[in-house]
Structure 1
Amino acid sequence: MKVTVIGAGLGGLCLAQGLRGAGVEVEVYERDRDVHGRFQGYRIGLGDLGLDALRACLPERLHGLLDATTGSLSGSRENYGPGLEFAGSRPPMTATAVDRQVLRQLLLTGVDVRFGKRLSAHQVLDDGRVRAVFADGSATEADLLVGADGINSAVRAQLSPDVRPEDTGVRCVIGRTPLTDRFAALVPGFGAGVSDGEVMLMIGLMRFRRPPREAGAELGVTLPDVGDYARWVLMPAPEQEELSPRDTVLAAIEGWHPDVRALVEAADPEHTSWLSIRVVRPGARWPLGPVTLLGDAIHATSPSGGNGANTALYDARRLRDLLAEPGVNLLDAVDTYETAMFSYGAQAVEHSVAALDQFLPGRRAA
């Protein structure tokens, strides 16, 4: 069996790692020009669902490196007013902090990725195999094509053209700031929110157990040279297109506590950006065949749900497990995967959309 994966994000690479470990031939095609083609994101929180999937798919020699380059998230989620006056707590949570860029580099280890390959179309052949054609004129054939190419999936556009990203209408600004004791004190537990009743600045910490570059070097794995940081998000972001993302946040939190403003002022400008929150709802199933979808390509969630990466990684594990079964019938495996994925994927999207309100003070008050 040969599997072609379109997209070298977390879900696609997790699947590739799992298939490699199971002895299944797999190749990955990515439209970015190289591994550093674009910034890969910020801190995310993984629960048991995502962590178990990673451990199941990663080779054992990388398990210790995964542990070393993650961090712990636990405790209550404190709410404060703009002067950092205490305004209550939300229930405690526990998760594992993961930096997207570090995790992606880890997942790339040993995987055959062809960069600079933008998918143009796919064709199911008479023998039941599938052919992927790329913008540069090259092509490849496989027994299964997996679209793991994100919210703007080219595979989905052909496979299920009626399913399109939906704009929630919410914009935010996201950024990260090198961590200091001053900024760490803003987040005594799992996370913190500072709000004036109109906007909310959410703050979370990424503390690595070990510096990723140092930990990776011991195994000959090249990881980003990134230190501990505070990740923050302003929701909803005011419509001030004439301002930079950072200046938009500073204008929105004018008069707030000096520590909060200093957090934003010290942010890395290259890693401070606008984000329009969009989702993808799975919709109706396409006819069963040798093409399927994974992760954001079919069930993109709002980040407010905290379940996007977890669900994509779970997709990868489920599909790997089914394809690796002895004597597997490919279409039966795809059918079993899609039947479950459409159900839990849709639930993940709806959960994430419902969770948006708790981070939108103006909407909640209305």
Structure 2
Amino acid sequence: MRVAVIGAGLGGLCLAQGLRKAGIDVEVFERDPGVRARFQGYRIGLADVGREALLACLPDRLHPLLDAVTGDLHGRRVFHDTQLRQLRELEPMTAIAVDRHVLRHLLLDGLDVRFGKQFTGYRGTRAEFADGTHVDADLIVGADGITSAVRGRLAPDLRPSDTGVRCVVGRTTLTPEFESLVPGFGTGVSDGEVQLMLGLMRFRRPPREAGLEFGVELPDTPDYVRWVLLPAPDVPGKAVEGWHPRVRALVEAADPAHSAALSIRVVRPERRWAPGRVTLLGDAIHATSPSGGNGANMALYDARLLRDLLVEKAVPEAVEEYETQMLAYGAQAVEHSVAVLDQFLPERAGPRS
């Protein structure tokens, strides 16, 4: 069996690792010219399903490295006014955090990834690329994100929906001053019109240092505060004028190379094709709002499920069973993420008397 994975994001790479672990021939094709061509995201919460999928698909020798480059999230969730006076407190939570960029580098280890390969279409199970090359496979998996070119060919009427919400996501290197802003699981600050959400990415060990012990090249990413402004202001610094000096300093100290304005879109999964030898995974078929915390975890779960079914069944039967399950839980994840996003908007999450 030969599998062609289109897209070298977390889900596609996790699938490739899982197939390789099972002895199945797999190649990954990525349109970016190289692994460092563009910034690949921020801290994400790693739920049990995501962590279990990674452990199932990664080589056993990399399990300690995965643990080393994650971080613990625990404690209370608090909301403050703009002068950091506490307004309310939610029940404590516990989770595991991982940096998307670091995790992607870990997942690349040992894989055959062809960069600079822009997918243009398929004929049967022959994947075609913009440079005139092609590859023949028994299965093509589109793991190429919310703007999936594979979905564009497989289900051209299935398009992303704009939630109408814009946000600015930033990353600021962690200092003792900024660490005090997030004493627990997470912190929210709001003036009733703009909501600022803060969370920490504190690695158990520095990623590059930990990677060297395992012969894996990981980025030299420092501990940081990930923050999100909702809705997106034209100038983030002006949105927090008059706020507490520590909050202003945090936003002003953000690394511009790792901060960006985002439009929040979702893909609501529907089967608009007959099951066959081309399928979709992750954001390509069920893109969630980031507020639900499910996007990466669902992509990783997709990868494990599809790998397990391909080991157990012939390709057509495996794909049909995978799509039946994936479309059901994917739809639930998308709707949950949209509901959570609504709760985070300032008029819902802002100051309350």
Counterpart code for 2:342: D
Counterpart code for 1:107: L
Given candidates 229, 236, 240, the residue that maps to 1:234 is 229
Counterpart Cα distance in 1 of 2:314 and 2:56: 22
284-293 or 134-143, which deviates more:
284-293
Evaluate the alpha carbon distance shift between residue 364 and residue 262 of structure 1 in structure 2; reply closer, same or farther with a 3 A threshold: closer
CA drift at 1:269: 1.2
Counterpart Cα distance in 2 of 1:269 and 1:152: 24
Counterpart code for 2:43: R
Given candidates 257, 261, 267, the residue that maps to 2:248 is 261
CA drift at 1:271: 1.1
CA drift at 1:359: 1.4
**Structure 1 stretches lacking a partner, 5+ long:** 125-129, 241-247
**Residue matched to 1:2:** 2
Counterpart Cα distance in 2 of 1:284 and 1:226: 39
**Structure 2 stretches lacking a partner, 5+ long:** none
Alignment of 1:55-204 (within 5 A): 55-124=55-124, 130-204=125-199
Matched-pair contact (CA < 8 Å) for 2:11–2:282 = yes
**Residue matched to 2:342:** 357
Number of residue pairs the alignment of both structures matches: 350
CA drift at 1:363: 5.7
Q: Which string of whole-angstrom CA distances, capped at 9 and with x for unpartnered residues, describes residues 144-164 of structure 1?
A: 000000000000001011110
**Residue matched to 1:244:** none
Q: Which string of whole-angstrom CA distances, capped at 9 and with x for unpartnered residues, describes residues 19-49 of structure 1?
A: 0000000000000000111101110101101
Alignment of 1:282-297 (within 5 A): 282-297=269-284
**Residue matched to 1:344:** 329
Q: Which string of whole-angstrom CA distances, capped at 9 and with x for unpartnered residues, describes residues 99-120 of structure 1?
A: 0000000000000000000001
Matched-pair contact (CA < 8 Å) for 1:357–1:364 = no
Matched-pair contact (CA < 8 Å) for 2:140–2:278 = yes
Given candidates 242, 247, 252, the residue that maps to 2:239 is 252
Q: Which string of whole-angstrom CA distances, capped at 9 and with x for unpartnered residues, describes residues 53-105 of structure 1?
A: 00000000000000000100112211000000001112222111100000000
Alignment of 1:279-358 (within 5 A): 279-325=266-312, 328-358=313-343
282-291 or 197-206, which deviates more:
282-291
Counterpart code for 2:129: F
4+ residue runs of structure 1 moved beyond 2 angstroms?
A: 362-365
Counterpart Cα distance in 1 of 2:271 and 2:307: 23
289-298 or 267-276, which deviates more:
267-276
Q: Which string of whole-angstrom CA distances, capped at 9 and with x for unpartnered residues, describes residues 231-251 of structure 1?
A: 00001113x3xxxxxxx1111
CA drift at 1:283: 2.1
CA root-mean-square deviation? 1.0
Report the secondary structure of 2:34's partner residue: coil
Q: TM-score, normalised by structure 2?
A: 0.98
Q: Which string of whole-angstrom CA distances, capped at 9 and with x for unpartnered residues, describes residues 269-290 of structure 1?
A: 1111100000001123411110
Report the secondary structure of 1:324's partner residue: helix
Counterpart code for 2:219: P
Counterpart Cα distance in 2 of 1:330 and 1:285: 19
Q: Which string of whole-angstrom CA distances, capped at 9 and with x for unpartnered residues, describes residues 215-266 of structure 1?
A: 000111100011100000001113x3xxxxxxx1111111000000010111
